[in-house]
A and B are shown apart, each in its own frame.
Chain A
């Protein structure tokens, strides 16, 4: 079965750049979506189709996807960016449909 691998945690100081990787076999051939989730709240999409941003999401959020790793980059990190971040792809083989990464807790130091 297809698996997406994320580090459990990433820490960064305010104003610095956070990079959250999402590893998967040939993930570069898939469209990757990223969601963030703050405690007690529903997930919110921050990047879709590898690198597009929904309206209302700051330009500080960006995404790349190549070969076996997709990366969510958050520049000029703010305290309010502290959340869990999940990558997600659609997988058409073996009737799996939707795969989420295990999630990364972003801590702003």
Chain B
């Protein structure tokens, strides 16, 4: 059974940092690109970042470029999102999602975690 389990969400003050993690099981992790998608409470979906199978290709939404860093540890079946200089508008549920391809972009996300909530507020 495929599982993606996010962790690390918390209440943090603006300007502070937070690191999210996603541990996966049930599939060969280093065969696939992985992504982070977020959703502000009551709002729509927003893609945040993606990383290909060997970390050779990373991409970010303009809204987080320069503040967030995506990484993965294939030995530990884990995906991470380092979030710095957090803003109130970063408040959202953060989902990790499995792509259907290993390299480049395209395709769709066939498995998602249940999300972890990040709240940025003073």
- Asked if residues A102 and B95 are in contact (CB atoms below 8 Å), the reply is no
Task: Name which of A13-21, A42-50, A70-78 contacts chain B.
Answer: A42-50
Task: Name which of B15-23, B39-47, B66-74, B77-85 contacts chain A.
Answer: B39-47
Number of residue pairs A-B, CB distance < 8 angstroms:
54
- Asked if residues B105 and A103 are in contact (CB atoms below 8 Å), the reply is no
- Asked if residues A100 and B44 are in contact (CB atoms below 8 Å), the reply is yes
| B1 contacts chain A at the CB level, 8 A cutoff | no
Cα–Cα, bound, A88→B61 (Å)? 15
Cα–Cα, bound, A91→B76 (Å)? 31
Q: How far is the CB of B13 from chain A (nearest CB, A)?
A: 27
- Asked if residues A43 and B112 are in contact (CB atoms below 8 Å), the reply is yes
Q: How far is the CB of B55 from chain A (nearest CB, A)?
A: 17
Q: How far is the CB of B108 from chain A (nearest CB, A)?
A: 4
In chain B, what residue has the closest Cβ to A47?
B108
Cα–Cα, bound, A74→B95 (Å)? 26
- Asked if residues B110 and A31 are in contact (CB atoms below 8 Å), the reply is no
Tell me which residues from 10 to 60 in chain B have a Cβ below 8 Å from any Cβ of chain A: 35, 37, 44-47, 50, 59
In chain B, what residue has the closest Cβ to A1?
B62
Cα–Cα, bound, A104→B108 (Å)? 19
List, in ascending order, chain A residues with CB within 8 A of B105's CB: 90, 92, 97-98
Tell me which residues from 23 to 75 in chain A have a Cβ below 8 Å from any Cβ of chain B: 31, 33, 35, 37, 41-45, 48-49, 54
Cα–Cα, bound, A26→B59 (Å)? 24
Which of A37, A45, A84, A96 is the one whose CB lies under 8 Å from B108?
Answer: A45
List, in ascending order, chain A residues with CB within 8 A of B37's CB: 43
List, in ascending order, chain B residues with CB within 8 A of A43's CB: 37, 45, 95, 109, 112
Cα–Cα, bound, A96→B61 (Å)? 7
Sampled A-B contacts (22; CB under 8 Å): A35-B45, A37-B45, A42-B95, A42-B112, A42-B113, A43-B95, A43-B109, A45-B108, A48-B107, A86-B45, A95-B62, A96-B62, A97-B50, A97-B59, A98-B35, A98-B47, A98-B105, A100-B45, A100-B46, A101-B44, A102-B44, A103-B44
